[in-house]
Structure 1
Amino acid sequence: MSTKAQVHFQLLPVELVHKIFDYLNAEAIVFSMRLVCKQLYSIVNAYNRYELDFRYISKSDLPLLARIIDPDAIISLKLSKTEKERSIRSLLKHFRTDFTRLQSLALFNLYDRDLKIIQNRIMKCPLKTFSIFNELWNVRKTEAYISNILLHKDLSKIEVKLDYDSITLIDWPMSCGLKHVIINNCSSATIYTILNHSPNLGTLVITDNYFENFEETITNDKQFNSVISLSLAISANIAMENIRSLLSCLPCLAHLRLISKTLSSDDSLFDGSEWEDLITAKVTLLKKFEFSFFGDLSAYNGSVTPKSMINSFQTLFWLQTKQWIVKYEDGPDNLQSWTFHIYSIPIFIDEFHYPSPVFRVVHSTLNTDVRCEKVTVDTNRLILYLTKMMSESTLELVSTIVRVQYCDSES
């Protein structure tokens, strides 16, 4: 570091230096920044927003880290038992007191005894965010632990990834202060329970839903006006009537994302006029509508064509009022069926293959050559087929790829 750079850094207000620390892990702050000079030593000692991720802290660093960092200065913990000899009790014993200012807690694949130990240490903490991801089959009391966490008066966000049965057994308090809920493997009954018990809920994300007879789940005409964002990934055969019943409860919705993971048999899902009628009747405040539906083209025997489907999304409502762009693509699913995919732009998907080894884009609501349209994707993992890209001269058509966490390539 140059002398000039050192002078400039030392002139920064302490609050700004602490803001920079917010983007560093605890090891970098304690073992690097703290040793640069006396001034930074003092600034580090005054820092009180540590976020510890035990998944990546080495066993040798942990005792020293725990001696230097005051537990009251820790606001976030991520706990995972990745090694057999590393029990949660042995991890936490290095800290002499409880984490009285803990605001965020994330747990990964922990056993019942681990959850009990953690519960005793954090029940009085001002938790605002809680996440639990558990793929262990012999954990029997996870749902009871989550039920206790939901009693935290400051809790505003929860993310749960468990098996279907465990989520069903969660006991939701009559009224909790949750504003954001992300959950998987749940039924329509669970969705309604969450809505009914969360009067402040603004965002609901369901990553794997079995959307069975939602209209039978609703017992009254109650509306949930606080919900402005809904994201559903549906594993079962989705029907427009179920969607209609759900949206009838959410009149203030501004963002809607619907992902069908299986082939859908309801023609209404692929009809832009049906969606236009539903949106104008039930969710008039909707500003952003993202969807992805699959169907079996061979089942229609020519009664519905790709062109007729895309035409229904080319009205003034879609192109001018809402400015929502839709694309249609199809390809062989096997020797006997032909699958089509109709979706909004940008594409949102956990894993994106480009160019698609199966589907080919045939139509777009934009009156342009689909072969010349750029591809915009919201994805976590991108797989590129380089040989096919070069042979088809498609490399220059790849547009902004948002939130890519991992990129792979295949020839």
Structure 2
Amino acid sequence: MSTKAQVHFQLLPVELVHKIFDYLNAEAIVFSMRLVCKQLYSIVNAYNRYELDFRYISKSDLPLLARIIDPDAIISLKLSKTEKERSIRSLLKHFRTDFTRLQSLALFNLYDRDLKIIQNRIMKCPLKTFSIFNELWNVRKTEAYISNILLHKDLSKIEVKLDYDSITLIDWPMSCGLKHVIINNCSSATIYTILNHSPNLGTLVITDNYFENFEETITNDKQFNSVISLSLAISANIAMENIRSLLSCLPCLAHLRLISKTLSSDVSLFDGSEWEDLITAKVTLLKKFEFSFFGDLSAYNGSVTPKSMINSFQTLFWLQTKQWIVKCEDGPDNLQSWTFHIYSIPIFIDEFHYPSPVFRVVHSTLNTDVRCEKVTVDTNRLILYLTKMMSESTLELVSTIVRVQYCDSES
């Protein structure tokens, strides 16, 4: 760092320097920034928004880090046993007092005994965000621990990734203050329980739902007007009637994302006029609609084609009023069927292959050559088939790909 740069950095207000620290890990702040000069030493000592991720803190650094950082200055913890000999008790013993200002807690693959230790240390903390990800077997008390966490009066966001049976055993309080819920392996009954017990809920994300008999789960005409965003990934065969029953409860939705992970047999899902009628009747405030559905053309005896599907999404409602763009891809799944994929733009998917080795875009609601349209995706992992891209001169069409966390390529 040059002398000029040092002077400029030191002239920044302390509050702004602390804001910069918010984007650094604890080790960088304590072991690097703190040692630059006396002024930064004092600024670091006054910092009180540390976020500790025990998954990446080395065993040798932890004791020194714990001596320097006051537990009252820690607002976020991520706990995981990455090594067999590092128990949660041994990790936490380095801190002399409890974390009285802890606002966010994330737990990864912990056993019952670990959860008990953590519960004794943090139950009085003003938690606002809680996450738990557990793929371990025979962890019998996880759901009881989560049920206790839900009693925190300041808790506004929870993210849960557990097995199906554990999630069904969670005891939701009659009225909790949650505003954001992210959960997996969830039944329709659990969805309704969450909605019914969370009067302030604004965002609900379900990453794996079987959507069985939702219309039978609803026992009254109660509506949940606080929910403005719903994201639902469905592992079972989905029907339009299921969606209609759910949306009837959520009249104030502004954002809806629907993902079908299996082939859908209900032809209504691929009909733009059906969706138009449903949206104008049930969710009139909807501003953003994202969907991804798969089907089998051979199952509809010629009554449905990619062109007929796309035509139903080329009305004034779709193109002008809402300005929602839809594309359809098809390709051979096996010798007996012809699978197609119809989806909204931009594409949202965990892993995106470009160009697709299976599908080929055949129709779009845009009045342009689909081969010349840019590809916009929201993805975590991007796989590029460079040889195919170069041969088809499509490399420049990937210029608008966004939020890619991992990129791979195949020749």
Q: How far does residue 336 in structure 1 lie from its aligned partner after superposition?
A: 1.1
Equivalent position of 2:71 in the other structure = 71
Q: How far does residue 119 in structure 1 lie from its aligned partner after superposition?
A: 0.4
TM-score by length of structure 2 reads 0.99
Greater mean deviation of Cα atoms: 298-307 or 334-343? 298-307
Deviations 1:101-137 (A, max 9, x none): 0000000000000000000000000000000000001
Q: Distance in 2 between matches of 1:2 and 1:409?
A: 39
Across the aligned residues of Structure 1 and Structure 2, the Cα RMSD in angstroms comes to 0.6
Q: How far does residue 82 in structure 1 lie from its aligned partner after superposition?
A: 0.8
Q: Percent identity?
A: 100
Deviations 1:41-94 (A, max 9, x none): 100000000000000000000000000000000000000001000000000000
Pair 1:282 & 2:294 matched: no
Equivalent position of 1:243 in the other structure = 243
Q: Distance in 1 between matches of 2:7 and 2:83?
A: 44
Q: How far does residue 257 in structure 1 lie from its aligned partner after superposition?
A: 0.1
Q: How far does residue 399 in structure 1 lie from its aligned partner after superposition?
A: 3.0
Q: Distance in 2 between matches of 1:308 and 1:20?
A: 53
Deviations 1:354-379 (A, max 9, x none): 11000000000001111111100000
Q: Distance in 2 between matches of 1:221 and 1:402?
A: 40
Deviations 1:175-211 (A, max 9, x none): 0000000000000000000000000000000000001
| Partner-residue secondary structure (3-state), 2:138 | coil
Q: Distance in 1 between matches of 2:187 and 2:139?
A: 21
Deviations 1:221-254 (A, max 9, x none): 0000000000000000000000000000000000
Equivalent position of 2:268 in the other structure = 268
Q: Distance in 2 between matches of 1:213 and 1:138?
A: 29
| Partner-residue secondary structure (3-state), 2:401 | strand
Q: How far does residue 396 in structure 1 lie from its aligned partner after superposition?
A: 1.1
Name stretches of at least 5 consecutive residues in structure 2 with no aligned partner: none
Greater mean deviation of Cα atoms: 383-392 or 257-266? 383-392
Deviations 1:128-157 (A, max 9, x none): 000000000121110000000000000000
TM-score by length of structure 1 reads 0.99
Equivalent position of 1:55 in the other structure = 55
| Partner-residue secondary structure (3-state), 1:260 | strand
| Partner-residue secondary structure (3-state), 1:221 | coil
| Partner-residue secondary structure (3-state), 1:30 | helix
Q: How far does residue 338 in structure 1 lie from its aligned partner after superposition?
A: 0.4
| Partner-residue secondary structure (3-state), 1:400 | coil
Q: Distance in 1 between matches of 2:250 and 2:399?
A: 34
Task: Please list, as runs of the form range in 1=range in 2, the aligned pairs for 1:9-408 lying within 5 A after superposition.
Answer: 9-408=9-408
Q: Distance in 1 between matches of 2:123 and 2:289?
A: 39
Aligned pair count reads: 411
Q: How far does residue 23 in structure 1 lie from its aligned partner after superposition?
A: 0.4
Q: Distance in 2 between matches of 1:302 and 1:325?
A: 24
Following TM superposition, the consecutive aligned residue runs of length 4 or more in structure 1 with deviations greater than 3 angstroms are: none
Q: Distance in 1 between matches of 2:153 and 2:401?
A: 39
Q: Distance in 1 between matches of 2:289 and 2:395?
A: 28
| Partner-residue secondary structure (3-state), 2:201 | coil
Q: How far does residue 28 in structure 1 lie from its aligned partner after superposition?
A: 0.4
Q: Distance in 2 between matches of 1:378 and 1:243?
A: 24
Q: Distance in 1 between matches of 2:389 and 2:178?
A: 45
Q: Distance in 1 between matches of 2:347 and 2:324?
A: 12
